[in-house]
Structure 1
Amino acid sequence: MKVVVLGSGVIGVTAAYQLAVAGHEVTVIDRQSAAARETSYGNAGEVSPGYSAPWAGPGVPVKAIKWLLMHHRPLVVRPHLDLGMVRWGLSMLRNCTAARYEVNKGRMVRLAEYSRKCLEELRDQTGIQYDQRMQGTLQLFRTQAQLDHTAADIAVLQRYGVRFELLDRDGCVRQEPALHGVRDKFAGGLLLPGDETGDCFKFTQALAAMAVQQGVQFRYGTRIERLKPGAQQIDGVVTDAGTVKGDAYLVALGSYSPLLLAPLGIRIPVYPVKGYSITVPITDATGAPESTVMDETHKVAVTRLGDRIRVGGTAELAGYTLRLHEARRQTLEHVVSDLFPRGGDTGRAEFWCGLRPMTPDGTPVIGATRLPNLYLATGHGTLGWTMAAGTGRVMADVISGRKPGIDMKGLTIDRYAGAYR
């Protein structure tokens, strides 16, 4: 079967690789000059099944107000005329209940844990290297009040069988020795030892090269204009270099997926939420993190990637703009300098932003659509890197007509009423 994959981010490339392994003839189309040049380029570096949870949950509306009032705030809203943002925001508020949180987290953990297994298998099969580390995620609580409110999160982790350890100050320092000099700045932490770290860009680039060896063709520098509808299915992809035809089409364009699907009468509630990062060269390895430290107060992750520190965070609602705001850089620099003052040189940091494709319920949209040859793999939000290996395997199975390795209930477009017009 000829399969056309739209998008060469980590989701599109993992799907293309798995489709090629399954025996399909695969073509990937992307406007960039190489794989992983947009949202997959500079993310926080976490592969975090244990941290998989929807943003929408009980108490979040009140927390959001507090976040907006912080100096180094984790949430930024830039008001503009955007009905899509309003609809997305209202839908997110409807998901801020205990019942919806349980359902949504269950769906996300199901895919994330499956993805953990698929990534392990992929490493064993290919020997792929991407500055990976297997030392877990430390969620750091700066206040005793934050530490005291971990009971609900721990209950969820226990329910889904996710390994964890609740640590005091000494335990946090044993896990991350560089925190010894700032131990007075936190009360404790929650360790998720099963989580991993790694450079998503390096992974995607390496896997793209392996995909080429499997026969995948990459058409870089090609702008996708629209999907060409036929009588009952998609007849081709219209690009600025001509029409590309296949037997099946997989949309893996992240935040831009809704724009391509809307003319077909398909509406998915995926909205771009901008995230920022800085990548800091390490100047003192003993003062740098060993793995990932998640600052719970600022919602910023500080991750060791080889000889660099990646600092990622902020949720900015501003549409599709990629403008870099200096205030966001200052927040990221504040966190890494506050926790790891000897670790790196922020004066030489690379400043970056990308658009996370967020759904209001946190769960991505993967699987088939009502059109028999059109498939979706988008809406992974902050967890695209975490869920990529599993998503790629699922999509290869679905498109190949095989039963996926996980239950697809609640993961497809069918969970949204009014998705088809």
Structure 2
Amino acid sequence: MIHDSIFVYSEELLNYKFSKNHPFNQLRLKLTLDLLKNMKAIEDHQIVPPRPATEEELHLIHDPNYVNAVKLAGQGQLPEDVGENYGLGTEDTPIFPNMHEASSLLVGGTLAAVDSVMSGRAKHALHLGGGLHHGFRGKASGFCIYNDSSVAIKYIQEKYKAKVLYVDTDAHHGDGVQWSFYDDPDVCTLSIHETGRYLFPGTGNVNERGQGKGYGYSFNIPVDAFTEDDSWLHAYRTAFREVAEFFKPDVILTQNGADSHYLDPLTHLSSTMKIYREIPKLAHEMAHQYCDGKWIAVGGGGYDIWRVVPRAWAMIWLEMTENSKSYGNLPIEWINTWKKHAPVPLPLQWDDPDDLYPPIPRKSEITEKNTQTLDKVLYPIRNRKMTESM
């Protein structure tokens, strides 16, 4: 059966859980799906369960010794000092029972999305359980054990021989994915994130452009703290269009962390729902312009799981399915179901109020700085175009 879009989900994805009070909370997956169901915006036949990734698939990116360490950790058999070398058992990435199984399922969910799209069974696929972009070859980092996007890109290269454009709009730099393909000219990474001056992981500078044959295929736009919608969107739209035209991908993979929002507790940006309306729109357009529609989207960060993430992530599915119902009031049934669980008042509407926060004093200065950053990032592409047209 051919679908325009599929949604990868099962309750088992909620087993990726560090602890009760850890900021990374996969309940947001359930909140998002429930919002879509309340709107009658998704049907059961569009929902596809994830499968676990095989060890062979994990080894496309991850060191076999590391995978083994994760397995032992999840069974309570990894010595503490060994764990620390692998980034396991830290404050960010604590050990939890069966963590290998839970993490493999997140990776396999992204691979299920890949196979749906690359085999032509669907034009677009959304797996909100994925997007764990800080995982390294042999180390857990920043709430991420295995890096599903890196595994998926390598899997696409080996199985489908396709060129991949990876676009990361999480407030944190997509470091794990960037370093996985830093010397590979067939993978282009574009990350727009809050500057690493005050934010984990501290990387993602303009001059991180790739190395060897991959030089010129890594793009980073570190925007200033307190960046607002218009400046953020200008950087995103300009860079995505110019990078896509330069790279001409076969498939687009987007990572959709929802933590650039003003209400996110871990970051310092000042965007609103306005950017989450626009992010998937442009990805959709670029996928049809360059890739015959092939677009795989994953989740990522997003730590205000009540007020921000469900609305932001629902917008991706609504865009994929060309559903324009995301205006005005949120479904009252959804609000009534969840308000008794939420520690904060739930939003009542799709869009944020205009007075969500007081005016930012350095607005023009921040905007100007972001424009200069963008120009630096895109200079090599523009320079090349100019030379070619002479």
TM-score, scaled relative to structure 2: 0.28
Instruction: Select the structure of larger CA radius of gyration.
Output: 1
Decide which structure has greater strand share. 1
